[in-house]
Structure 1
């Protein structure tokens, strides 16, 4: 990959690479309990991209996907890591996805809901993380069920339990962990969406910068960097996205 000086300048208006990180998706970012520092696949990618640019990373950390997206969209961050969605595309230039994550429904054991098609009725309330990829998707897809927005993705199951809702929607691994900690819950047996995790940069940085970022992600997939990062952080169930 050839880095033109103009492209490097486009990514670095402050002299550092400001990377927007979303703690609401523990598949890609977590906070170290001892140091408080974020770590994970997104952090590894940000560090490698900064190394290519020859600068330091300035981590801009948020609790929700919506906040993380807004930081990139309005130029407070230079790159970000989030799911591709049409609602986010006006101000953000996305790469192809580098990881695919499955979205699932969680219900109570005694629930009559057995299949995804049974969720969308007026009698059902579905907990989602506000501004998450599955919030955006289900807002478009559900015609009858009521969407109840938790403050963040990690708070979805708590909202589901406290408000005695019928369904919780979220990342499969998060819901599996919640079901293991809360007897009496079960996942439905099929995903309702595939969440395409990608990198993005503000559209205002120009097409050359967006192209360079897309090439970077393709190299990170083909070289095994993403696969190694997933293995290093013990992430299971996430799939490497195919070549873009």
Structure 2
């Protein structure tokens, strides 16, 4: 059967069926016929002829039935299905053991709280949801500071964690997109002359922080005059400050509010040190698994799950 040859690009899109539909529409406008190229997908008379330019399809001039268009569209569905299967497999690969081991930082009350042995907050909630998607039980690995969580990243003690996005940490772990943003600020004693965040960076001022926390990393680079006093974790930094150590204590706003309520002799300063973007993390670098975990976070945000549990 005589036919017309249509040249396709050298690097066609991955979704080849969509590319053929696009070229068919262009051909129609030029030749004013009804989708002749589609006949190549259902007729044995279609022939593939390689050329130096790219794939070359010989399309019979006979017009196909309109159902051929539907047939091409139907052929696209398995692509999305296969993508979902691949993403699910990558999620399952995150937890190779019998359970999903999720590292939870209880030192950041904005993200997790231990209420009489029951874990609440966004990080335990995301861990449970991920374990459900993977099809395994969740096992919580508890820490009292982000620094300690990060320190164990290369020891095989947890499968997935939650940390503030930081370029230095990114050398060892993989971050997803942020699922939430929290505020870090200062607290001072009632008799302190410091009345704003900007006034804390003065010569002779000692600021107590939890070692390895996101605000510790930020202040290490940002401060010019004040001195940092590092405790082992945020809880220990609050205890030091209560005991009279330091002039200022830094922390996540929710943690400061819980540890220094109104009437405690300590006031929380207005303003913020920094906004901390929190993300899920893998304790290694793997592009495919990170992409699958990032897609999980995207779904959790889009569905309203993060907002409902934050």
- With normalisation by structure 2, the TM-score equals 0.68
2:256 aligned residue: 175
Residues 112 and 3 of structure 1: CA distance in aligned 2, closer, same or farther (over 3 Å):
farther
Match among 234, 255, 273 for residue 153 of structure 1 = 234
- CA distance in 2 between counterparts of 1:44 and 1:154 reads 22
1:15 corresponds in structure 2 to 98
2:300 aligns with 220
Whether contact under 8 Å (1:11, 1:209) holds in the other structure is yes
In structure 2, the partner of 1:2 is 84
Q: What secondary structure sits across from 1:96 in the alignment?
A: strand
Q: Quick one: structure 1 residues 11 and 124, their matched pair in 2 at CA, closer, same or farther if it must change by over 3 Å?
A: same
Point out where structure 2 has 5 or more consecutive residues left out of the alignment: 1-82
Partner of 1:71: 152
Deviations 1:50-86 (A, max 9, x none): 1111111121111221122233344321100121112
**1:208 — aligned with what?**
288
Compared CA separation, residues 73 and 143, structure 1 to 2 (3 A): farther
Question: Whose radius of gyration is greater, 1 or 2?
Answer: 2
Shift of residue 223, structure 1, vs aligned partner: 0.8
In structure 2, relative to structure 1, the CA distance for the partners of 1:134 and 1:3 (3 Å cut) is: farther
> Aligned equivalents of 2:199 and 2:145: distance in 1?
28
Change (3 A) 1:184 1:147: same
Residue 120 of structure 2, aligned match among 23, 39, 43: 39
Say if 2:161 is the partner of 1:80.
yes
| Structure 1 residues 119-165: Cα deviation after superposition (integer angstroms, max 9, x where no partner) | 11221000111111111111111122111112221232221121342
Structure 1: distance between partners of 2:226 and 2:239: 19
Contact 2:200–2:248, Cα closer than 8 Å, also in 1: yes
Q: Is 1:104 matched up with 2:181?
A: no
Give the match's secondary structure for 1:7. helix
Q: Please, which moves more after superposition, 219-228 or 162-171?
A: 162-171
Show the counterpart of 1:92: 173
Question: How far apart in 1 are the matches of 2:113 and 2:154?
Answer: 23
Cα shift readout 1:201-222 (whole Å, capped 9, x = no counterpart): 1234x10100011111111111
Q: Distance in 2 between matches of 1:186 and 1:15?
A: 47
Cα-Cα RMSD: 1.9
In the TM superposition, residue 3 of structure 1 has moved relative to its aligned partner by 4.1
Q: Which residue of 2 aligns with 1:113?
A: 194
Q: Secondary structure at the match of 2:251?
A: strand
